[in-house]
């Protein structure tokens, strides 16, 4: 339910993983605490767990924008922390693409010499384009308290 929020957090540069579907609450809490992570959830029942304080953040609202606003009211979030430095799919830190990897991008990207990054885990390539621009616009919108 918070998959898009996780994606936006990764786009902002936050180390954000997703829980294994069906994982028992006790395991989620123990794993989060051991890793020093916050556990974002829409599941109010998780709050009742004795290990919840300081770890569980209950996200209210409908839709990703409301989820993001709700999160930022509870936890300091800098949506421009380090934009587009993590893989949106798997959370790995992106690296500059090698010349061989750059060769796999569309010719227009290569011709313009745009920065290309590479995910060392899932091997996805990232370059500036419409998708990245829209994500950056979303992050900028989240930074603006007037919206």
Q: Report the residue from 39, 52, 84, 87 that binds Zn ion according to the rule CB under 5 A.
A: 87
Task: Choose between 10 and 41: whose C-beta lies nearer to Zn ion.
Answer: 10
Residue 97 CB coordination number (10 Å): 19
N- to C-terminal Cα distance for the chain?
23
Q: Counting contacts by CB under 5 A, is residue 75 touching Zn ion?
A: no
Query: Which sign does the torsion angle of CA 83, 108, 106, 95 carry?
Result: negative
Q: Counting contacts by CB under 5 A, is residue 23 touching Zn ion?
A: no
Q: Report the residue from 122, 131, 133, 140 that binds Zn ion according to the rule CB under 5 A.
A: 122
Task: Choose between 74 and 121: whose C-beta lies nearer to Zn ion.
Answer: 121
Minimum CB separation from Zn ion for residue 38, in Å?
Answer: 22
Task: Choose between 17 and 74: whose C-beta lies nearer to Zn ion.
Answer: 17
Closest CA to 91 of 1, 4, 14, 3: 14
Minimum CB separation from Zn ion for residue 142, in Å?
Answer: 23
What sections of the chain are H helices per DSSP? 3-11, 25-35, 64-74, 99-102, 107-112, 130-143
* Residue ranges binding Zn ion (CB under 5 A): 87, 89-90, 92, 119, 121-122
């Amino acid at each position: 339910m918070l998959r898009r929020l996780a994606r936006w957090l990764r786009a902002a540069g936050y180390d954000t993983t997703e829980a294994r579907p069906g994982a028992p609450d006790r395991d989620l809490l123990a794993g989060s605490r051991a890793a020093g992570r916050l556990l974002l959830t829409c599941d109010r029942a998780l709050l009742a767990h004795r290990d919840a304080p300081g770890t569980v953040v209950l996200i209210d609202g409908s839709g990703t924008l409301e989820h993001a606003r709700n999160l930022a009211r509870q936890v300091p979030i800098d949506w421009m922390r380090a934009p587009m430095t993590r893989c949106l799919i798997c959370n790995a830190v992106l690296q500059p693409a090698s010349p061989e990897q750059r060769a796999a991008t569309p010719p227009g990207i290569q011709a313009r010499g745009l920065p290309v990054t590479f995910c060392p885990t899932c091997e996805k390539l990232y370059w500036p384009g419409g998708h990245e621009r829209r994500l950056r616009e979303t992050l900028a919108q989240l930074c603006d308290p007037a919206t």
